[in-house]
Chain A
Amino acid sequence: MTVLNVLPRGLAALVIAAATAGVMTTAPAAFAQGTPQKGGTLVMVVQPEPPTLAAYQSTAGPVGQVTTKVYEGLLEYDFSLKPIPGLAASWSVSPDSKTVTFKLQPGVKFHDGKPFTSADVQFSVMEVLKKVHPRGLNTFRAVTAVETPDPLTAVFRLSEPAPYLMMALSSYESPMIPKHIFGTGDITRHPNANIPIGTGPYKFVEWQRGQFMRFDRNPEYRKAGLPHLDRIVARFIADGGTRAAVLETQEAHIAGFNAVPPVDVKRLQALPHIAVTQKGYEMQAPIVQLDFNTTRPPFDDVKVRQAVAYAIDRKFVIDNIWFGFGRPATGPINSNFKANGLFTTDVKNYNVANGVELANKLLDEAGKPRGSDGTRFEIVHDVTPYGEEWRRFGEYTAQQLGKVGIKVTLRYEDVPSWLRRIYTNYDFQLTSNWIQTLADPVIGVHRLYHSASIKPGTVFVNSSRWSTPETDDLMNRAAVEGDAAKRAALYHDFQKRVVEASPLVFVHELEFITVHNKKLNNFPLSPLGLYSSFDQVWLSK
């Protein structure tokens, strides 16, 4: 039952490392230079295998990595997190911010030859995304109607201004699907769920379960001369050591989202044909955190929470557990949002050299003196069940909190048990966690701090159950604030208050790693990285 859990992955990787050091002799190809060459098959490793291709009702990472080659969104985004044209050629927002008009690209066809029109936009948003998409209910909550005055115009009517909406229209977040296919039958178990038909640069061909998916070039793609590649094949390999091996033997060209374990990355990086990048995850913005149960002693006391926040040495965690891939986190909003001004460093700083000393002082003040054996109190720390590094992180936490007199027992469970414990039963004291704060705070951040997000049974929402009327109000106002500067000011105030109260420890901003062959060019071209269409990616011969 737990065979895979007992495989010592690190050991296996180490052995491979020792046995293969210096074996590769392939000459490196020119990297991202010169004119694109046509043709070729790109092999990407996707981990784990996507359970489904119904991108309109699953936002699971692996699903997005493949379906974004087939489906497109109304918008794409550049590295400053600004929207750029996708299926929408242009757009305008009314002065009261309650009407958004999209002009669609003319002449766009679905893979079955039928034209893409505003009726498909209306159907996708109102009938599908707003009803069955995990985040769509929230993203499109302000959208009351999508009007279609002509086939190339879609008008979104909003009940209130929704600035976050413009950040959520990528192919990954809000794919546009054909009404003439999905409009009939039950959308939640549609026969075309796993036979996607979109407008993207690649057509879905086949899915051999447990093995691969095949996508062939769409010759009718709306951007003339694109895509460069003839074909994309996504492969599924359950073992981390083997995933590293296929990149090494050049059987595959690219693997992202840490599909190659960080422990292997350093070794692969040294090979002449391998490149490593942390770019292309800017719209995921994951933060590693420790969640407190703030409704129960000892963590109902803000001083105790702050003490834990001081005790954790962020640099040590990044360097030793995540192999240097990460940045210290300062608060609830990821530093990626510097690009649009929402992020601020003007908050209480827990990342200080004398953290342990300050933590001890705070615990003394909180009335938690050390006992005769040096222990102040005991807690159980639930380790989030998403892989080896979290176990190491749990062990580190136990050791580090031991220094300030908190005795920690670690508890390991599988994913469903852990989710049930944290988000339904709230039967925990401290748990490690990582949350994608996504493309806008309304979509990714509010859920962790708003009182309305304390919902037993719903996962990855407010599990610490901390909230204040002031922060609720700041979030409510920021959600509908159309003016960028005012909105940023609201979020700066919000960050300050949350960090002060420390309902969770902001440890670091996780950096995912993409490992790819140097023959691969033009990647990543957008903050969506592996969730982008790959229409401009090309392979050197």
Chain B
Amino acid sequence: MAWNQSAAYALRRLLQAVPTVLVIVALNFLLLKLAPGDAADVLAGEAGSATPEFMAQLREKFGLDQPLGVQLLLYMKQIVTFDLGYSFRHSMPVAELILSRLGPTLLLMVTVFGLAVGAGALLGSLAARNLNRWQDNMISMLTVLAYATPVFWAGLMLIVLFSIKLGWFPTSGMQQVAAFHEGFAKVRDIAHHLVLPAFTLTMFYMALYTRLMRASVLEQSSMDYVVTARAKGLTERQIARRHVFRNALLPVVTMAGVQAGAMLGGAVVVETVFAWPGLGLLAYESLFARDLNLLLGIFFVSTCLVVIVNLIVDLAYSFLDPRIELR
């Protein structure tokens, strides 16, 4: 029964999201058109030279010779059939291009989010339970340090220490390119390459969740229900685990939901430093190449992802706190 209810709720929410997504697509399109220069300028610029006939030919092929309104209508027509179009710059369909980069992005971000939220929640409650003792001070100091360190610098320093000096991890990339491992060796190889970028990003996000969790646990600890539980004779450990932790987790989940939206683009710096083949870098490059089809495609995928993640967060609320009803 409850399962059916959740499913119906999810479906309704998804349907409601359709007009929102379309409006976002149209806005993105118009905003991107405000930037001076177009894909033909960039392609010809990279070629180092081009004839006027070639430029005109490019613009015609890209549909850039059409009026803006017509271009927008054509694009919207494509989108409603889930056709993300063709990237002339990359000579391949946008959907294929995004799919090929989605895997590494998700691998990195899911790892980072799992570690950051998990470790952040644990460290945060540990700090709160040992308020103003050495554990709390230590954790607070480390989180401030991790949060304040620029990500690119931390990344480069980790490369210097662990790749160049100690030789424990590869500097960059996702696989050892000269080897072409297969099967289990490949999984191990990718995991080996994942360590440094994931660690760099986790440090940053974990700091945030630790601070949030600490404040949240402290707030919950002074609530009436904790006093009641204590009066009932529960041990501090039981109170912390069964009562406080779940309630304190709600703001952290909210924050994670909001940040998941930035997940796709948020890793540009780490992707750059560690040459991790993610979507953030692709979006960044396509912006400077004015590859609008590709950029709009990436925006579309991230918009959809945000809608889905928000839905998951709402479902998680009712799981963590059964008093919250799905309506």
- What is the interface of chain A, defined by CB distance below 8 A to chain B? 1, 3-4, 7, 12, 15-16, 19-20, 23, 41, 43, 48-49, 51-54, 58-61, 132-135, 137-138, 188-190, 193-194, 208-212, 214, 231, 233, 235-239, 241-242, 245-246, 248-249, 251, 414-421, 423-424, 435-436, 438, 443-444, 447, 455, 457-461
Partner of A237, one of B104, B173, B178: B173
Compute how far the CA of A23 lies from the CA of B101 in the bound complex, rounded to whole angstroms: 35
Known: A189-B88, A459-B44. Is A15-B49 also a contact (CB below 8 A)? no
B172 touches A420 (CB 8 A): no
- Taking the closest CB of chain A, its distance from the CB of B44, in whole angstroms, is 5
Q: Which 6 A-B pairs have the closest CB atoms?
A: A416-B37, A210-B277, A193-B91, A60-B46, A134-B47, A237-B275
Partner of A52, one of B54, B91, B152, B175: B91
| Residues from chain B with Cβ under 8 Å of A251 in the complex | 170-172
| Residues from chain B with Cβ under 8 Å of A419 in the complex | 37, 41-42, 44-45
Compute how far the CA of A132 lies from the CA of B53 in the bound complex, rounded to whole angstroms: 10
Which B residue's beta carbon lies closest to that of A54? B91
Which A residue's beta carbon lies closest to that of B50? A134
Compute how far the CA of A245 lies from the CA of B155 in the bound complex, rounded to whole angstroms: 12
Known: A4-B272, A60-B47, A242-B159. Is A458-B177 also a contact (CB below 8 A)? no
Compute how far the CA of A62 lies from the CA of B47 in the bound complex, rounded to whole angstroms: 10
Which B residue's beta carbon lies closest to that of A205? B180
Partner of B51, one of A15, A134, A209: A134
| Residues from chain A with Cβ under 8 Å of B55 in the complex | 457-459
A137 touches B53 (CB 8 A): yes
Which B residue's beta carbon lies closest to that of A19? B160
| Residues from chain B with Cβ under 8 Å of A424 in the complex | 41
B37 touches A415 (CB 8 A): yes
Q: Tell me, yes or no, whether B48 is within 8 Å of chain A by CB.
A: yes
A137 touches B44 (CB 8 A): no
Q: List 8 extra interface pairs beyond A3-B268, A16-B164, A239-B275, CB under 8 A.
A: A137-B53, A235-B275, A239-B152, A249-B164, A416-B35, A417-B36, A419-B44, A459-B49
Compute how far the CA of A441 lies from the CA of B180 in the bound complex, rounded to whole angstroms: 44
Q: Tell me, yes or no, whether B61 is within 8 Å of chain A by CB.
A: yes
| Residues from chain A with Cβ under 8 Å of B144 in the complex | none
Stretch at the interface among B236-244, B279-287, B318-326: B279-287
User: How many residues of B are counted as interface, with CB atoms below 8 angstroms from the partner's CB atoms?
Assistant: 69
B47 touches A19 (CB 8 A): no
Q: Tell me, yes or no, whether B300 is within 8 Å of chain A by CB.
A: no
| Residues from chain A with Cβ under 8 Å of B42 in the complex | 415-416, 419
Q: Tell me, yes or no, whether B316 is within 8 Å of chain A by CB.
A: no
Known: A135-B47, A460-B49. Is A417-B157 also a contact (CB below 8 A)? no
| Residues from chain A with Cβ under 8 Å of B175 in the complex | 208, 211-212
A237 touches B172 (CB 8 A): yes
B160 touches A20 (CB 8 A): yes
Partner of A134, one of B49, B97, B290: B49
Partner of B47, one of A59, A209, A416: A59
| Residues from chain B with Cβ under 8 Å of A239 in the complex | 152, 272-273, 275
Partner of B90, one of A52, A417, A455: A52
B274 touches A242 (CB 8 A): yes
A194 touches B91 (CB 8 A): yes
| Residues from chain B with Cβ under 8 Å of A19 in the complex | 157, 160-161, 164-165
- Taking the closest CB of chain B, its distance from the CB of A9, in whole angstroms, is 10
Compute how far the CA of A189 lies from the CA of B94 in the bound complex, rounded to whole angstroms: 13
B49 touches A447 (CB 8 A): yes
Which A residue's beta carbon lies closest to that of B287? A1
- Taking the closest CB of chain A, its distance from the CB of B290, in whole angstroms, is 5
| Residues from chain B with Cβ under 8 Å of A447 in the complex | 49
A458 touches B44 (CB 8 A): yes
- What is the interface of chain B, defined by CB distance below 8 A to chain A? 35-38, 41-55, 57, 61, 86, 88-92, 97, 100-101, 104, 152-153, 156-157, 159-161, 163-165, 167, 170-175, 177-178, 180, 268-269, 271-278, 281-282, 284-285, 287-290
A20 touches B91 (CB 8 A): no
B281 touches A238 (CB 8 A): yes
B173 touches A235 (CB 8 A): yes
Compute how far the CA of A393 lies from the CA of B46 in the bound complex, rounded to whole angstroms: 21
Name 8 interchain pairs, CB-CB below 8 A, sorted by A: A51-B89, A193-B91, A236-B275, A249-B163, A251-B172, A414-B37, A416-B42, A419-B44
Known: A19-B165, A238-B271, A249-B164. Is A209-B49 also a contact (CB below 8 A)? no
Which B residue's beta carbon lies closest to that of A458? B52
B159 touches A210 (CB 8 A): no
B152 touches A51 (CB 8 A): no
Compute how far the CA of A58 lies from the CA of B48 in the bound complex, rounded to whole angstroms: 10
Compute how far the CA of A443 lies from the CA of B273 in the bound complex, rounded to whole angstroms: 38
A459 touches B272 (CB 8 A): no
A249 touches B167 (CB 8 A): yes
| Residues from chain B with Cβ under 8 Å of A443 in the complex | 49
Which A residue's beta carbon lies closest to that of B266? A3
Known: A3-B284, A15-B156, A193-B91. Is A458-B51 also a contact (CB below 8 A)? yes
B275 touches A208 (CB 8 A): no
Compute how far the CA of A3 lies from the CA of B281 in the bound complex, rounded to whole angstroms: 11
Partner of B156, one of A16, A190, A233, A444: A16
Partner of A241, one of B38, B48, B86, B273: B273
Partner of A210, one of B50, B104, B171, B289: B104
B164 touches A416 (CB 8 A): no
| Residues from chain A with Cβ under 8 Å of B53 in the complex | 137
| Residues from chain A with Cβ under 8 Å of B46 in the complex | 51, 58, 60-61
Partner of A246, one of B100, B171, B268: B171
B273 touches A52 (CB 8 A): no
Partner of B288, one of A414, A420, A458: A414
- Taking the closest CB of chain B, its distance from the CB of A334, in whole angstroms, is 14
Compute how far the CA of A15 lies from the CA of B150 in the bound complex, rounded to whole angstroms: 14
B273 touches A242 (CB 8 A): yes
| Residues from chain A with Cβ under 8 Å of B161 in the complex | 19
Which B residue's beta carbon lies closest to that of A456? B52
- Taking the closest CB of chain A, its distance from the CB of B271, in whole angstroms, is 7
B173 touches A211 (CB 8 A): yes
Known: A15-B157, A59-B48, A416-B290. Is A20-B164 also a contact (CB below 8 A)? yes
Compute how far the CA of A220 lies from the CA of B275 in the bound complex, rounded to whole angstroms: 34
B91 touches A249 (CB 8 A): no
Compute how far the CA of A188 lies from the CA of B90 in the bound complex, rounded to whole angstroms: 11
Which B residue's beta carbon lies closest to that of A59? B47
- Taking the closest CB of chain B, its distance from the CB of A447, in whole angstroms, is 6
Which A residue's beta carbon lies closest to that of B43? A58
B51 touches A135 (CB 8 A): yes
Known: A239-B275, A251-B170, A416-B37. Is A135-B50 also a contact (CB below 8 A)? yes
Compute how far the CA of A211 lies from the CA of B174 in the bound complex, rounded to whole angstroms: 7
Partner of B164, one of A3, A23, A208: A23
| Residues from chain B with Cβ under 8 Å of A60 in the complex | 43, 46-48
- Taking the closest CB of chain B, its distance from the CB of A443, in whole angstroms, is 8
B101 touches A210 (CB 8 A): yes
- Taking the closest CB of chain B, its distance from the CB of A39, in whole angstroms, is 12
- Taking the closest CB of chain A, its distance from the CB of B170, in whole angstroms, is 6
| Residues from chain A with Cβ under 8 Å of B153 in the complex | 12, 15
B54 touches A420 (CB 8 A): no
Compute how far the CA of A461 lies from the CA of B160 in the bound complex, rounded to whole angstroms: 44
